[in-house]
Structure 1
């Protein structure tokens, strides 16, 4: 999707400025973001994490289709909502986590409701559960000066960015997607 292209592009541009970037694709789903970054940035080491074994199976098939394997690409199970559960240290975090609110879940378009796993969509009552976790009690370890890029819902940008500001992240700002909607949170770890 167009909004996710900008997320991927932000991470690729940041990774190209690093000598040996270690990238985490958190809530990777099918792996399209992390695998695209691995293809675009040959010096990158990319770890894809999701809590769904079904999603990880799809990500593994997609990695194989593109000839991506360890040690350049690692695909593993993990819980984005469990603090300090991913033990490697990364220089870039990229994530398109679940962000649909409880109210929005009741009115999903059939094209989404019938084909997308609800586990990949529901982000808590206000849709911000995963942003709270990433900002305040992350599952990952990010190197000092490391960068985070996360997609959010079309009405959530400022609320999600504020969670990172309140948690002490620096250079927190929003990038717009192709439609001009602020959808990509960019933040730097102190």
Structure 2
């Protein structure tokens, strides 16, 4: 069985660092980002036969189409990394409703939609692994980051519940909660 990993948010930041590691471990990668050129550049930098895709994770139709294309071109996804996320820091009383909705749709709903698509295939394969990238802010909170905190805290609860739903099908679901320092380290690692 081919080892195929889809990394949403794989064109930069933590997602790009994960792509480097997974590439070294022999996975064929689907680097997915809103910006197709950024995804292509990340895939090209890795060498090999990795592919780039454009997808807005907040749109179910985009997610479904992307999974169909990945399966057609790479094979069934057996490892999913959800690193796509946005942040619109602001005090809650100053936060624009559009920014709140955008963060919740990208950071939480987007991961739910990609997991839903991946789990269908993983159940058929009787196995797979999902890693959702949360944030320490989702566990601890932070002034000026109420909405971001809510989206990442929701991701923790979602991941725990999904793990219980699909664990008997040999599908692992984990969430990691990096802090600011880890994010900076990974960014500098990518630039080397």
* TM-score range normalised by the length of the shorter chain: 0.5 to 0.7
* 1:74-106 deviation digits (Å, cap 9, x = unpaired): 112234342532121111111212264xxxx25
- How many residue pairs match? The answer is 140
- CA offset at residue 147 of structure 1? 0.6
Q: Normalization by structure 1: what TM-score? A: 0.55
* Alignment correspondent of 1:158: 156
1:12 alignment counterpart: none
Give the TM-score normalised by the residue count of structure 2: 0.55
Instruction: Write out aligned runs for 1:1-190 (5 A).
Output: 20-30=2-12, 32-33=16-17, 35-41=19-25, 43-50=26-33, 52=34, 55-66=35-46, 68-69=47-48, 72-80=49-57, 81-82=59-60, 84-85=64-65, 86-87=67-68, 88=71, 89-98=76-85, 100=87, 105-107=88-90, 122-124=102-104, 127-136=107-116, 141-142=121-122, 143-153=125-135, 154-155=137-138, 156=153, 158-165=156-163, 168-170=165-167, 171-175=172-176, 177=178
Structure 1 stretches of 5 or more lacking a match?
1-18, 109-117, 182-190
Work out whether residues 32 and 54 of structure 2, in 8 Å CA contact, stay in contact via their aligned partners in 1.
yes
CA 1:44–1:135: 2 relative to 1, 3 Å: closer
Runs of 5+ consecutive residues of structure 2 not aligned to the other structure: 92-98, 139-152, 183-192
**CA RMSD, Structure 1 to Structure 2 (Å):** 3.8
SS at match of 2:110: helix
Which structure is higher in strand share?
Answer: 1
On the 8 A contact 1:24/1:93 being kept in 2, the answer is yes
Residue 125 of structure 1: CA displacement? 6.7
Greater share of residues in helix: 2
Post-superposition CA distance 1:99-131 (Å, at most 9, x none): 64xxxx2518xxxxxxxxx8xxx4327952123
